[in-house]
Amino acid sequence: MPLEALHEEITPPGLHYILTHFDIPYLDQTAWRLRVGGAVQHTLELSLADLLEGPVVTVPVTMECAGNGRSLLMPRPLSQPWRLGAVGTAEWQGVPLGYVLGMAGIDADALEVVFTGADAGIQGGVVQRYGRSLPVSEAMRPDVVLAYRMNGSALPPQHGFPVRLVVPGWYGMASVKWLAAIDVVVSPFEGFQQSVAYRYQEGPEDPGTPVTRIRVRSLMVPPGVPDFFTRRRTVPPGPVLLQGRAWSGGGTVERVEVGIDGQWIPAGLKEAPGPFAWRPWSCEWLAEPGEHVLMCRATDSTGACQPLDQAWNYQGMGNNTVQKVHVMVEEAAGPLSHP
């Protein structure tokens, strides 16, 4: 997502980030079926029409890839080379996952629910379908949804057509696209995307800990205009409205501060469109000629705050280090002041 799209509360589908490990599977919505099985009383095979008959929920969700910010880490972890744009907010509509699991009837000894996508490929030498699991308690949350609509329209192919899982508050990897099967299991799921990828690791031999909820973060719309090659910003002198959005999967965002050349001042915060979506913030800055470094940092209701120094780990996961924007303020109002 280009950072200027932070102007919008709901990201248009064409500006929402995309992450696909393999290829986009092209699925026929009339032939599509969702198989629900494993440790359940009744196995199910549901069509899209069956899901459309169920109860409907709509949840605005800020989704962020766990690898967002990876390319800004040093040494640089090798994977999808995200800078800061792997985030977006959409209104997901569908049937609560808990309703479908209720129809199937989960066995008493169930531990996790495994979600398998229709996409397949090879990662780390392992032939696989994309698969992830959730603990039963998370799967039964009323806001976890089997989504068939995004921002009021059918899902676009790249976002999981015809049906995807959306797990509000968790990094994007949990929200399995092109959903093909749901299996209730009685022992921990050991699939590649669960036990090898998406872990906070100190090095390649460290088994690490699983990546789960989105760490608190804020981003700003970079002010002024970029230099084509260096991407450094040039800003005309005078009042500038700094603005952006802040979110957290661990709690509610309670504070955003803006750092101007190392001095922190509180930003004004407005309401989020929902408990799992970002809050807009803004702050006036009187831009004086010269070089400046602008930053923003958010704190959530658990007290978690964004680090100033990089949160390095082997896979470059969950890097919520504060954004730094280097700007050059012009000596006098030039052509940039008069668009």
Ligand X SMILES: Nc1nc2c(c(=O)[nH]1)N[C@H]1C(S)=C(S)[C@@H](COP(=O)(O)O)O[C@H]1N2
Q: Which residues contact 136 (CB under 8 A, 6 or more apart)?
A: 106, 110, 111, 112, 113, 184
CA distances from residue 306 to 62, 139, 210, 216, 283 in whole angstroms, order as listed: 17, 28, 20, 6, 18
Residue 17 contact among Mo ion, ligand X, none, beta carbon within 5 to 8 Å by kind: ligand X
Minimal CA–CA distance to 66: which of 56, 57, 77, 50?
77
Length of the chain: 339
Min separation Cβ 172 and ligand X, Å = 2
14 token code pair:
């064409």
Q: Is 159 in the site for ligand X (CB under 6 A)?
A: yes
Choose the one of ligand X, Mo ion, none that binds residue 119, judging by a C-beta under 5 to 8 angstroms depending on kind. ligand X
Q: Is 34 an interacting residue with respect to ligand X (CB under 6 A)?
A: no
Binding footprint of ligand X, residue count (CB under 6 A): 18
Q: State how far the Cα of 138 lies from the Cα of 92, in Å rounded to an integer.
A: 18
- Locate 117 and state its tokens: 């996508």
How far apart are CB 254 and ligand X at their closest, in Å? 26
Q: Locate all alpha helices (DSSP H) within 107-239, ordered by sequence.
A: 136-139, 192-195
Query: Judged by CB, which is closer to ligand X: 17, or 285?
Result: 17
Q: How far is the CB of 24 from ligand X (least distance, A)?
A: 9
**Which residue among 3, 10, 18, 19 contacts Mo ion (CB under 5 A)?**
19
Of positions 1, 5, 63, 65, contacts Mo ion by CB under 5 A: 65
CB of 68 to Mo ion, least distance (A): 8
Query: Does position 177 bind ligand X by CB under 6 A?
Result: yes
Rank residues 159 and 279 by Cβ distance to ligand X and give the closer one.
159
- Member of 1, 11, 16, 134 binding ligand X (CB under 6 A): 16
Contacts to ligand X from residues 125-144, by CB under 6 A = 130
| Nearest CB to Mo ion, comparing residues 167 and 256 | 167
172: contact with Mo ion by CB under 5 A: yes
Q: How far apart are the first and last CA of the chain?
A: 24
Nearest to 197 by CA among 18, 67, 70: 67
Query: Contacting ligand X (CB under 6 A), which of 11, 20, 128, 306?
Result: 20
Q: Which one, 172 or 316, has the nearer CB to Mo ion? A: 172
Among positions 78-117, residues that touch ligand X (CB under 6 A) are 117
- Residue 214 CB contacts under 8 Å (≥ 6 apart), including other chains: 62, 64, 169, 170, 171, 247, 248, 249, 250
Tell me the two tokens of residue 281: 């913030």
Residue 124 and residue 78 in contact, taking contact as beta carbons nearer than 8 Å: no
**What is the nearest approach in angstroms of Mo ion to the Cβ of residue 19?**
4
Cα separation, 312 vs 76, in Å, equals 9
Q: Compute the least distance from the CB of residue 162 to ligand X, in Å.
A: 13
Which residues contact Mo ion (rule: CB under 5 A)?
19, 65, 172-173
Which residues contact ligand X (rule: CB under 6 A)?
16-21, 63, 65, 117, 119, 130, 159, 172-173, 175-178
